Structure 1
Amino acid sequence: MASKQPSSLQLPSFLRGLYSSVHQNSKKEGLRCGEQYRKDGAFSAPRQMLEVSPGEVVLTHGVADFQHERPAWRLYMLSNVMSGMYEALNWQNTFQVDDPYEAFCRENAWGALYFATSQDAPRSAERTALRLQAVLRFWEPLQSARYLFKTLGAALTLEELMVASCGWALDAWCPAGDTSVHARLKTAAERMARATREECLEAIFRELPRALAYARNLKHRDALADPTFQRERLASLDPLAFERVSGACTSDLLEKLYDWDHELGLH
């Protein structure tokens, strides 16, 4: 059931504190969640929520967390909750619990932002649409904080964070950049949610040049850059494999380019 949306941004208390305490407390939360899921197949809200002061900085990626001795909001440590949950389940059927836990988290501002910015697999068009739509539902409270992502320096606004973490989705699914980030995210999410296979292919073709630009040490770059070759290889993917890349995430396409480069070297 969706929780009532607060007017201010609130995060679970276990995500606030020194690095060592957040690491320990988030693991305990994961163990609690895992035990509950094993008993009744459900999750419950964190036991204590704390309000994030307007303008306070939230760390959304471990790369930016270089001052472990200072108290901070460490949103990225929700990954530690998931590790604790897996441990409570004895690392059995972990894939089966991923989807319901993410769905539960997306009903809260903190969970919505984590799954949108962390880009945990899968990154299909359908899953990414759900993640972006969740962030849009909590846009107002999320705007009150500032964020650090993968680079140090000035903290980011919510709009800047979403461009830094989900720019690939904007470029692939709403390339026109003359509207607000919020509007582009909404359009991208709507298109991804109802996308056909052909529409996913169009988005992938828009993003493949960027993936190629990031690729290093390719032995067959010219062949990989050929649109005919790309279309043939994408057409050969089974439904599950195609769904994995259907969101057109740059890192997923980069992985596919390396796979194709390796396959070409075998012939």
Structure 2
Amino acid sequence: MVVANDTIDFNRERSAWRLHRVPHVLSGLSEALDWQDTYPLRDAYEAFCRETPWGALYFAIGRTAPHGAERMSLRFQALLRFWEPLESARYLFSSPGTALTLGKLVEESCSWAMDAWCLVGGDSVRERLNTAAERMSRATREDSMEAILRQLPRVLTLARDLKDREAVADPFFQRERLSSLDSAAFERVSGAHPGTLIEKLYDWDLELGTH
């Protein structure tokens, strides 16, 4: 049994593997550097972890930034390489009483990527994730733009307290604002990850309120 939720540790006394332990090592390493210039360390640690089954799973289904298209493609590809051994476990993710197969876990945690990047093709979760990873790996800025615009209506349902919802929900406004982002800022949202996009929606809403 694997506790795959990185926020809630279901029943700490229960014997199980716990994915949220993966970043604890990084915290210790960062502390040893006095939290100075930790980005290269973070990237190297993630690259190392992606070469292990549990590390690949953690970074594919977790919420660890960055969530750009290129980075998420690497994470999904790593998970797909370890698919067979990871299928042998069962996972606790959204409910302590429901043990999930790997396919169900990925469906619950990564449906956003498959919805944004794999509109058609693939009969299984594994096939759809593979298609999404391939498309993300070779995505142009325009490809990412279209994936983001497909994702934003879903993300808007999660942003419940926008002050200027009508303006922020306008596809023309969204495309205009995305087009105005510089390369680094666009890369951060290029994967169409919901957590990253909801932050961008609130940024836009705040900007509208200051004019």
- TM category (shorter chain) comes to over 0.9
Q: Where does the alignment leave 5 or more consecutive residues of structure 1 unmatched?
A: 1-56
Q: Which residue of 1 aligns with 2:81?
A: 137
User: 2:175 matched to 1:228?
Assistant: no
Q: Which residue of 1 aligns with 2:129?
A: 185
TM-score by length of 2: 0.96
Three-state SS of the structure 2 residue aligned to 1:179 is coil
Q: Structure 1 residue 62: deviation in Å? A: 3.9
Q: Where does the alignment leave 5 or more consecutive residues of structure 2 unmatched?
A: none
User: 2:93 matched to 1:149?
Assistant: yes
Contact 1:63–1:151, Cα closer than 8 Å, also in 2: no
Contact 2:121–2:131, Cα closer than 8 Å, also in 1: no
Q: Structure 1 residue 74: deviation in Å? A: 1.0
Three-state SS of the structure 2 residue aligned to 1:150 is coil
Comparing 63-72 with 129-138, which one deviates more in the overlay?
Answer: 63-72
Q: Which residue of 1 aligns with 2:31?
A: 87
Distance (whole Å) between structure 2 residues aligned to residue 182 and residue 72 of structure 1: 25
List per-residue Cα deviations over 1:57-94 (Å, max 9, x = no partner).
Answer: 10112444232223321121112111111122222221
List per-residue Cα deviations over 1:160-212 (Å, max 9, x = no partner).
Answer: 11111111101000023761001101100000000000000010011000011
Contact 2:6–2:19, Cα closer than 8 Å, also in 1: no
Provide runs of 4+ in structure 1 moved above 6 Å: none
Distance (whole Å) between structure 2 residues aligned to residue 233 and residue 202 of structure 1: 13
Distance (whole Å) between structure 2 residues aligned to residue 79 and residue 263 of structure 1: 34
Contact 2:3–2:10, Cα closer than 8 Å, also in 1: no
Contact 2:156–2:198, Cα closer than 8 Å, also in 1: yes
Contact 2:2–2:89, Cα closer than 8 Å, also in 1: yes
Q: Structure 1 residue 253: deviation in Å? A: 0.9
User: 2:20 matched to 1:66?
Assistant: no
List per-residue Cα deviations over 1:4-55 (Å, max 9, x = no partner).
Answer: xxxxxxxxxxxxxxxxxxxxxxxxxxxxxxxxxxxxxxxxxxxxxxxxxxxx
What does 1:1-267 align with in structure 2 at a 5 Å threshold? 57-176=1-120, 179-267=123-211
Distance (whole Å) between structure 2 residues aligned to residue 178 and residue 139 of structure 1: 16
CA radius of gyration, larger in: 1
Aligned length: 211
Three-state SS of the structure 1 residue aligned to 2:2 is strand
Q: CA RMSD in A?
A: 1.3
Distance (whole Å) between structure 2 residues aligned to residue 255 and residue 113 of structure 1: 24
Aligned AA (1:221): R
